[in-house]
Amino acid sequence: MIALEVVFWVCAALIVWTQVGYAAILAVLARVFGHAQPIAAPEPPPPPLSLIVAAHDEESVIGARIANARALDYPRDLLEVIVACDGCTDATAARARDAGADVVLELARGGKIRAQDAAVQRARGDVVAFSDANALWEPDAARMLVGAFADPRVGYACGQVRFVQAATGAEGGNQEGVYWCYELAVRSYESRLSSITAGNGAIYATRRDAYIVVDPIMGHDLSLPFNMVRRGLRAVYVPAARATEKMVPSLLGEFARKRRMMSHTWPILVRGGMLSPRGYPPGYALMIVSHRLLRYLTPFLHLLALAANIALVAGGAGALYAVTLALQLALLLGALLGGALRIRPLLLARYYVLTTASPAAGLWDWLRHGTEATWEAAEGTR
C-alpha cells in the first residue's frame, strides 16, 4: 500500500510541477533575476536578411505570403525572399515568382528541413529567417526579430505567433489559443532567465553562420534552441516580433497535428542529444527536464497515477484517495462529454486529455513505423 501511495503522489507531483509549478517559479525568478526582453528594432541600416519559406503544394497561400513579406518595414535592398518548393506538384513555384520572390528553388521532395537547408545555402543574408507558408508577419516583425542579434550572444530568435480562430468543426472548437497564451508566457520567462527550450515555425531566425543542419525528421522548433545553448549562444523569445497563423479548427484535428509533431519530437529526445546534460548550464538543464521531458511523459504519469489510485481505493485506502480518483474520472468524463456538448469547461477538458495523449500516440507511431521527413498541411489551416 505504501508503494502505491508513493507512486501516486510522485506522479501527481510531477504532473503539477510541469503543468503549473514550473511556470509559477519561473515567473518569480524572471521578475527578480531576468534579463530585459529584446524588443528594440536595430539601428539603421539593419543587417542583410534572407526570409525563407519552405513550401509543399501551397499555391493557395504562397502569393499572399510573398506579398506580406514584400510589405515588411525592412529596406528592400537588404531583404531577400526565398521560396524553397519541396517537391511541389501544383503551381506554388509559378505563383511565388509572380508574387515577387527573389529566389524560387524547385527541389525534389525531401521534407521541410532539407528544403530549408537548400535555401540557406543560396541565401545572401547575414541573418536567415524562416516562416510557414500560411503565416503572416506584422510590418515591423522582421526588424524586431533581427534586433535580437544586436546582442552577440544570441544565436537564435523566435517571435510571437498568434492563432486566428477558424470555423469550428463538428467535434467542437479547438482550445489551442488558451494553451498557447500560457506557453508564450512560459517562453518569455525562460528567455529572460536563460534561453527558450523550443520555438515555432511561423517566425524565427538565426545568424547564417550559426545555422545548424539537423536530421531531416528533427524539426528546427525543438532542435535549434538547445543546440544553440550547447554552442554557448542564447536562444531568445522576441514577443514584439509578431505573426499570425490559422488555427486547426477542430480538437481532433489538433490532436492529429500534435501527434505528428510528437513523432518528430521523440527522436530528438532519444537520439538527438536533447537530454544529454553536456554543454548545458544547470538552470537550462532543469528547464529541459521540467518543460520538455516531463511534459512529454505526462500521459504515462497520468496512467500510473490513475492505476495506483484505483488500486488504493480497491485496497480500502482513506477517503482522500476516493476524492482524487473522482477528480481524475471527472476529467475523463468531461473530455468524453466535450465531444458532444460544446461547453467551454468540457471543451477544455477534452483539449487537455487529447493533447496530453498526443505524446504517447506520437511515440507509438515512431516506434511502429518510424517518422517521415515529409509533411502535409494540417487540416483547415490554409
Residue 35, number of CB atoms within 10 A of its CB: 13
What order of strands is seen across the sheet that includes strand 136-137?
A: 103-107, 79-86, 49-55, 127-131, 204-207, 154-164, 234-246, 136-137
DSSP letter at 165 equals P
Yes or no: say if 232 and 328 are a contact pair by the CB < 8 Å rule: no
Residue 170 resides in a domain: yes
CATH number of the domain bearing residue 179: 3.90.550.10
Residue 169's pLDDT is 44
Sign of the C-alpha dihedral computed for residues 132, 137, 143 and 144 taken in this order: negative
Inside any domain, residue 367: no
**Cα(58)–Cα(153) distance, rounded to whole angstroms?**
36
Here the contacts of 71-75 (C-beta below 8 Å, separation 24 or greater) are 71/139, 72/137, 72/139, 72/140, 72/141, 72/142, 72/143, 73/139, 73/140, 73/142, 73/143, 74/46, 74/49, 74/142, 74/143, 75/44, 75/45, 75/46
Main-chain phi, psi angles of 246, to 5 degrees: -75, 135
For the chain, the domain total comes to 1
Angle at 309 between CA 303 and CA 311, to 5 degrees: 105
Matching residue, cell 532567465? 193
pLDDT of residue 278: 87
Q: Which residues of 359-368 are buried (b: 16+ CB within 10 A; e: fewer)?
A: bbbbbebbee
Q: What grid cell was written down for 357?
A: 495523449
Q: Phi and psi of 148, rounded to 5°? A: -60, -25
For residue 92, being part of any structural domain is answered with yes
Asked whether residue 377 is domain-assigned, the answer is: no
Question: Average pLDDT per run of 10 along the chain, which is 382 residues long?
Answer: 94 97 95 71 83 96 96 96 96 96 96 96 97 96 95 96 66 70 94 95 96 94 96 96 89 89 94 90 96 97 98 92 97 90 87 96 95 74 66
Is residue 136 one of the residues assigned to a domain? yes
Domain range for 174? 49-250
pLDDT for the residue numbered 41: 61
Has residue 22 been placed in a domain? no
Maximal C-alpha separation, the chain: 75
Task: Look at residue 251 in the predicted model and tell me its pLDDT.
Answer: 84
Helix-helix angle 176-193:344-369, to 10 degrees: 70
Look up the pTM and report it: 0.92
Q: Does 80 reside within a domain?
A: yes
Residue 34's SS3 state is: coil
